[in-house]
């Protein structure tokens, strides 16, 4: 399998951390150092990116299509539904809630999966992250 987008960087980052990250999330919190490789989003326009920043909608599609990564992303999103009595800010804090919003918007755009769209409805009042939408349209 050709790894056009170097998705192996996510596999490597998650190898030691994913079980811990999903356990923390199930308890209603999230560890900031895990955000970038558990809930990736588009790179910033100013170029100040994490090594885990995605470059395009096509890369987000490839991420979801990569069995291990796509399944883990879906599992993480499903876990959010179990936390419905809380809010993104309570679980993630302000900065990481914004990152989550951007990630969910990107992956909802990359897929027609009800799961990914539903979490935007539940956690963000069906509002997308506008900056992500604008940037996706520029890259398309």
Q: Does residue 58 belong to any structural domain of this protein?
A: yes
At 90, which helix (H) or strand (E)?
A: helix 88-110
Closest by alpha carbon to 136, among 103, 113, 112, 98? 103
Closest by alpha carbon to 72, among 101, 40, 117, 94? 40
pLDDT of 48 over the 70 cut: no
- Please give the structure tokens belonging to residue 127: 């509002």
Q: Does residue 84 belong to any structural domain of this protein?
A: yes
Terminal-to-terminal C-alpha distance of the chain: 25
pLDDT band at 50 (very low <50, low <70, confident <90, very high): confident
CB–CB of 84/122 below 8 Å?
yes
Count up the domains in the chain and report the number.
Answer: 1
Report the C-alpha gap between 46 and 76 in whole angstroms.
28
Average pLDDT over residues 129-137: 93
Q: Does residue 71 belong to any structural domain of this protein?
A: yes
Q: Does residue 111 belong to any structural domain of this protein?
A: yes
Long-range contacts of 125-130 (CB under 8 A, 24+ apart): 129/98, 129/101, 129/102, 129/104, 129/105
User: Global pTM?
Assistant: 0.93
Q: Does residue 24 belong to any structural domain of this protein?
A: yes
Q: Does residue 1 belong to any structural domain of this protein?
A: no
Report the C-alpha gap between 134 and 119 in whole angstroms.
20
pLDDT of 23 over the 90 cut: yes
Task: Note down the domain range covering 107.
Answer: 8-139
Q: Does residue 75 belong to any structural domain of this protein?
A: yes
Domain containing residue 13: CATH number = 1.25.40.380
Q: Does residue 2 belong to any structural domain of this protein?
A: no
| DSSP-assigned beta bridge partners for residue 42 | 54
Residues 6 or more apart whose CB falls under 8 angstroms from that of 26 comprise: 79, 82
What tens digit of pLDDT does each residue of 59-115 get? 999 999 999 999 999 999 999 989 988 999 999 999 999 999 999 999 999 998 999
């Amino acid at each position: 399998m050709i790894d056009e987008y170097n998705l192996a960087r996510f596999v490597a980052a998650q190898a030691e951390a994913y079980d811990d990250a999903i356990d923390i999330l199930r308890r209603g919190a999230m560890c900031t150092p895990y955000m970038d490789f558990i809930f990736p989003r588009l790179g910033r326009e100013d170029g100040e990116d994490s090594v885990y920043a995605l470059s395009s909608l096509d890369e987000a599609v490839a991420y979801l299509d990569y069995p291990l990564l796509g399944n883990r992303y879906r599992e993480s999103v499903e876990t959010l539904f179990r936390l419905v009595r809380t809010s993104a800010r309570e679980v993630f804090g302000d900065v990481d809630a914004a990152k989550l919003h951007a990630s969910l918007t990107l992956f909802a755009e990359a897929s027609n999966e009800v799961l990914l769209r539903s979490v935007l409805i539940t956690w963000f009042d069906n509002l997308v992250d506008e900056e992500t939408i604008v940037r996706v349209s520029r890259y398309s």
